[in-house]
């Protein structure tokens, strides 16, 4: 692999796993444009940032497919999509779409999670969906709509494969297995949304919080993660004091530890017992 030692340009930075500007003009830029460099080394942090062609080559090299939708495709169909898939890093707090905004890319998550929030006129928000490695952000495109009805907010940093909207629509038209898997995924999301609506109406906040934490742990594949009070309040449709009371109750039972948004599941079986039955239903649908 060819790595370029870059000079830090004042006021410029690297973000979202992509190099914005780490090199000065001249020979270094020409080497990148000619495809002679695979990565750029940031001297300030020692981090090497893979350039798009190198990242794509790693995926072409094979290995397990992390995203559930893509993994379900026949290998030949998956390979036919690789030329349009761009590996990207998603950072917690990053907004992929705002309500009414045109969808320019879809995202097949490998890890991390993206919260889908319905934003009201008074700017209050309520989570109406959560996407992890089992699915895709940008489902409206598969249903013939080109604008997002929700805010898509990254809640857990991770990686994804991004595809331009036009390329996705073209692939959807020619790839029957992709159509089939997306139909199943959309149906599962619809059932999950109905289950969650019933859960929010009939179940106690403590049980709903336990469900939310279990689902988050499943998606990030870890018992340690970070969720803010604001996010949990939006997810559960309660005030922050309701989150505090529910989290305190779970901590007293030694099921979780929770400090400044840093959460650790201490007793997964106990947390499952504290959760409502909706967790098992939603988990079975997530696949």
147-189 pLDDT, tens per residue? 999 999 998 888 999 999 999 999 999 999 999 999 999 999 9
| pLDDT for the residue numbered 282 | 85
Q: How confident is the model at residue 235 (pLDDT cuts 50, 70, 90)?
A: confident
Lowest mean pLDDT among 14-28, 35-49, 193-207: 14-28
Cα 202 to the center of its chain, rounded Å: 28
Q: Which residue has the higher pLDDT, 154 or 283?
A: 154
Lowest mean pLDDT among 138-147, 180-189, 278-287: 278-287
What percentage of the chain exceeds 70 in pLDDT? Answer: 77
Report if pTM > 0.85: no
Lowest mean pLDDT among 32-36, 126-130, 225-229, 231-235: 32-36
Q: Strand pairing of 256-259 and 151-156?
A: unpaired
Mean pLDDT of the chain: 84
Q: Which residue has the higher pLDDT, 120 or 36?
A: 120
Half-sphere exposure of 15 (CA within 13 A, CB side): 7
In angstroms, the CA 38 to CA 31 distance is 10
pLDDT reading at 37 higher than 80: no
Q: How confident is the model at residue 196 (pLDDT cuts 50, 70, 90)?
A: confident
Per DSSP, the three-state class of 148 is coil
In angstroms, the CA 105 to CA 205 distance is 35
- Three-class DSSP labels, 84-130: HCEEEEECCCCEEECCCCECCEEEEECCCEEEEEEECCCCCEEEEEE
Residue with tokens 């909207």: 165
């Amino acid at each position: 692999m060819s790595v370029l030692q870059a000079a830090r340009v004042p006021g410029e930075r690297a973000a979202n796993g992509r190099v914005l500007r780490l090199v000065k003009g001249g020979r270094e830029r020409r080497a990148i444009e000619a495809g002679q460099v695979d990565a750029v080394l940031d001297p300030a942090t020692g981090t090497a940032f893979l350039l798009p062609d190198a990242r794509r080559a790693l995926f072409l090299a094979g290995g397990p497919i992390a995203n559930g939708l893509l993994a379900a495709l026949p290998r030949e169909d998956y390979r036919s999509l690789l030329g349009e898939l761009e590996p990207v890093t998603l950072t917690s707090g990053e907004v992929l779409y705002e309500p009414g905004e045109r969808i320019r890319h879809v995202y097949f998550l490998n890890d991390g999670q993206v919260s889908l929030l319905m934003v009201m006129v008074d700017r209050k928000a309520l989570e109406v969906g959560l996407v992890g490695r089992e699915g895709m952000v940008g489902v409206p495109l598969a249903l013939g709509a080109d604008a997002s009805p929700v805010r898509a907010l990254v809640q857990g940093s991770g990686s994804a494969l991004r595809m331009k909207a036009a390329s996705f629509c073209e692939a959807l038209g020619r790839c029957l297995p992709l159509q089939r898997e997306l139909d199943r995924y959309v149906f599962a999301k619809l059932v999950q949304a109905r289950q969650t609506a019933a859960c929010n109406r009939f179940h106690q906040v403590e049980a709903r919080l336990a469900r939310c934490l279990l689902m988050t742990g499943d998606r990030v594949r870890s018992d340690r993660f970070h969720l803010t009070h604001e996010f949990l309040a939006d997810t559960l449709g309660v005030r922050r004091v309701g989150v505090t009371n529910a989290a305190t109750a779970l901590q007293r039972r030694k099921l979780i530890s929770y400090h400044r948004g840093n959460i650790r599941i201490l007793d997964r079986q106990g947390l499952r017992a504290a959760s409502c039955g909706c967790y098992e239903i939603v988990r079975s649908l997530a696949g």
